[in-house]
Amino acid sequence: MLNLTSQQIKVFDVIKNHLTINGYPPTRAEIAKTLNFKSVNAAESHIKALVKKGVIEKVPGSSRGIRLVEDLAGIPLIGSVAAGLPITAVENVEKNIPNPLNKHVDFFLRVKGQSMIDAGILEDDLVGVKKSSNAENGQIVVARIEDEVTLKRFKKDGNKVNLIAENKNFKDLLIDESMDLTIEGIAVGIVRENLN
């Protein structure tokens, strides 16, 4: 959803909200009324801009013929993160799933390894992640150290950051100045597709 102007974002949000509240898209007149435009053509122009930018689709001649491109897709599931790419880069998106968690989720990340099993997070679980560059003590975070992405419990002691694995067989990871640590997001929920 990049490159949208603030007005375009407003129009997009009106469409999105209308869809969730009413179950069908708004008309140009309804968009104009909501945003206090005096001309329906203001809405029409914004719709054209949003189509051009690829965030919505139009069905010409059809009343309320608007689709949210983003919305059809659901929330991106990141299977594995290729080195050098931002986590949510399209190259990393495995598929898209609907969000059952009663919270904002920016992406789901498939868990690799056993480092969090004592917190009930198993390999291949999908962790719902909200993007954030900082974390509070005790939160489970998606962290990036150099080029590697891991899921760990965040603990800060003064200015020393400790990334704790919830597995007795793993040792804590103490971050020092020389290491390049980025907090990518906070884990807010879990989806497990496979039981066995």
Partner DNA sequence: TAACATACTGTAATTATATACAGTAAAAAA
Partner DNA sequence: TTTTTTACTGTATATAATTACAGTATGTTA
Query: Which residues contact a copy of itself (rule: CB under 8 A)?
Result: 19, 22-25, 27, 59, 63-68, 71-72, 97-103, 117, 119-122, 125-126, 138-140, 187-196
Separation between Cα atoms, residue 75 and residue 82, nearest integer Å: 19
102 binds, among a copy of itself, DNA, none (CB under 5 to 8 A by kind): a copy of itself
Separation between Cα atoms, residue 187 and residue 72, nearest integer Å: 24
Measured from the CB atom, is 42 or 93 closer to DNA?
A: 42
Catalytic residues: 115, 152
Question: Nearest distance from residue 39's CB to DNA, in Å?
Answer: 3
Is the distance from CB of 31 to CB of 14 less than 8 angstroms? yes
Per CB under 7 A, 46 contacts DNA? yes
Task: Compose the 55-84 pattern: x for residues touching DNA by CB under 7 A, - for all others.
Answer: ---x-xxxxxx-------------------
User: SS3 letters for 89-153?
Assistant: CHHHEEEEECCCCCCCCCEEEECCCCCCHHHCCCCCCEEEEEECCCCCCCCEEEEEECCEEEEEE
- Binding footprint of DNA on the chain (CB under 7 A): 5-8, 27-30, 32, 35-46, 49, 52, 58, 60-65
